[in-house]
């Protein structure tokens, strides 16, 4: 692996992750996020996308997962020694899969909770207005409990919390999960705007490959714990092989790759 060049804000170098000291999920995965770009990380269910994000944000430890090899470098700093909350405070914000809003807190309180990401950063003050500009709907409901928001609104809140934190890099885990096509388009338009207007670099994990590649600059496709293909987003989106074998966008529904089947078998063994 070559050293990260200065315009790379996040680089993941050859990492391996093992859960419960037994299950190896990542096997030498590498990728880099150039500053200011959106990088899409795609792959089928169970490929290890969420695990990759957790390895980066340090949340693995909460699930008895461990990064046994490789390194993660944020803006030139190896993150190995940083605790999750310290990582957040140094500019890496993980919008977790399934939104994870604090349901019994109000929208406002959810946003306030994200101000902890600003602790210890000089001259950093929370900008609630900014969130409400991108998501006027949240302003209307700011005193209501987050648990009563619709799925789409909760996703807005999850991204809104990330905006409060003013990160260098946002990790977004399946923001399209469970949303209607119209809402997906809506959310992704805003994600692209935030990237452009706030200069936030993003690592975007998605099942919905076409919409992810539409907003991303670069794409990586992973299978069973490592990257199999990467390249500029338009190129990946246009490549018929990629479409057929990795993105499940072929004419027929049978876009199952060989590795998928192998993965399935491996899982079966786990369960029995």
Partner 1 sequence: MIDFDWLLLFEVSLAGIGSGGLYALAGLAFVLIFKATKVVNLAIGEMLMMGAYFFFAMASTLGWPIWLGVVVAVLGSGALGALIERLLIRPMLGESPISVFMITIGLSSILVGAVELIWGADQMRLPDFMPSDPVLIGEAMVPPKIFYGFLVATGLIAVVLVVFRFWRGGIALRATASDQAAAYSMGINVPRVFSLAWVVGAMVAAIAGIIVGSISSLSPTMGVFGLSVLVVVIVGGLDSVAGALVGGIVVGLVEAWSGTYLGGQYKMLSTFSLLVLILMVRPYGLFGTHEIERL
Ligand X SMILES: Nc1ncnc2c1ncn2[C@@H]1O[C@H](COP(=O)(O)OP(=O)(O)OP(=O)(O)O)[C@@H](O)[C@H]1O
Q: In the window 192-221, what residues touch ligand X (CB under 6 A)? A: 207
On whether the CB atoms of residues 84 and 53 are closer than 8 A, the answer is no
On whether the CB atoms of residues 200 and 194 are closer than 8 A, the answer is yes
Indicate whether 148 belongs to the interface with partner 1 (CB under 8 A).
no
Kindly determine how many residues on this chain lie close enough to bind partner 1 according to the rule CB under 8 A: 32
For ligand X, which stretch binds (CB under 6 A), given 46-54, 101-109, 155-163, 194-202?
46-54
Provide the b/e sequence for 122-148 (b: ≥16 CB within 10 Å): eeeebebebbbebbebbeebbeebbee
Q: In the window 23-62, what residues touch Mg ion (CB under 5 A)? A: 50
The only residue of 33, 74, 118, 157 in contact with partner 1, by rule CB under 8 A:
118
The only residue of 117, 179, 187, 204 in contact with partner 1, by rule CB under 8 A:
117
Q: Which does 48 bind (CB under 5 to 8 A by kind): Mg ion, ligand X, partner 1, none?
A: ligand X
On whether the CB atoms of residues 111 and 169 are closer than 8 A, the answer is no
CA pseudo-torsion sign 91, 94, 99, 100: negative
For Mg ion, the closer CB: 50 or 224: 50
Q: How far is the CB of 181 from ligand X (least distance, A)?
A: 19
The only residue of 66, 69, 105, 207 in contact with partner 1, by rule CB under 8 A:
105
CA pseudo-torsion sign 208, 214, 216, 218: positive
Q: How far is the CB of 27 from ligand X (least distance, A)?
A: 11
The CA distance from 99 to 228, in Å, is: 28
**Helix/strand/coil for 137:** helix
Q: In the window 82-111, what residues touch ligand X (CB under 6 A)? A: 97
Other CB atoms within 10 A of residue 115 CB? 16
Stated length of the chain = 272
The only residue of 32, 49, 99, 217 in contact with ligand X, by rule CB under 6 A:
49
For ligand X, which stretch binds (CB under 6 A), given 16-24, 155-163, 185-193, 238-246?
16-24
The CA distance from 116 to 109, in Å, is: 12
What is the Cα Rg of the chain in Å? 18
Indicate whether 119 belongs to the interface with ligand X (CB under 6 A).
no
Q: How far is the CB of 154 from partner 1 (least distance, A)?
A: 12
Strand-pairing partners, residue 152, are none
Residue numbers of the site for ligand X (CB under 6 A)? 19-20, 23, 25, 43, 45-51, 63, 65, 97, 207, 267
Residue numbers of the site for partner 1 (CB under 8 A)? 57-59, 62, 64, 83-85, 88-89, 93-96, 100-105, 109-110, 112-119, 161, 165
């Amino acid at each position: 692996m070559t050293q990260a060049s200065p315009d790379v804000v996040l680089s993941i170098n050859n990492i391996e992750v093992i859960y419960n000291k037994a299950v190896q999920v990542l096997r030498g995965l590498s990728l880099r996020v150039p500053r200011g770009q959106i990088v899409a990380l795609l792959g089928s269910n169970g490929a290890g996308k969420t695990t990759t994000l957790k390895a980066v944000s340090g949340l693995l430890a909460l699930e008895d997962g461990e990064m046994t090899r490789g390194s993660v470098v944020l803006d030139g700093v190896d993150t190995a020694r940083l605790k999750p909350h310290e990582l957040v405070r140094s500019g890496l914000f993980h919008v977790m899969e399934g939104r994870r809003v604090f349901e019994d807190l109000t929208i406002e309180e959810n946003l306030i909770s994200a101000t902890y990401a600003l602790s210890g950063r000089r001259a950093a003050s929370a900008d609630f207005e900014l969130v409400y500009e991108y998501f006027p709907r949240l302003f209307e409901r700011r005193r209501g409990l987050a648990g009563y928001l619709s799925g789409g609104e909760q996703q807005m809140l999850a991204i809104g919390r990330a905006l409060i934190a003013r990160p260098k890099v946002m990790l977004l885990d399946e923001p399209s999960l469970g949303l209607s096509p119209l809402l997906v388009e809506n959310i992704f338009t805003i994600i692209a705007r935030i990237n452009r207007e706030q200069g936030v670099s993003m690592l975007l994990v998605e099942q919905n490959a076409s919409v992810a590649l539409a907003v991303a600059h670069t794409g990586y496709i992973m299978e069973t714990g490592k990257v199999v293909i990467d390249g500029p987003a338009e190129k990946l989106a246009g490549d018929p092989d990629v479409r057929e074998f990795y993105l499940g966008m072929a004419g027929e529904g049978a876009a199952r790759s060989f590795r998928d089947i192998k993965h399935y078998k491996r899982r079966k063994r786990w369960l029995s």
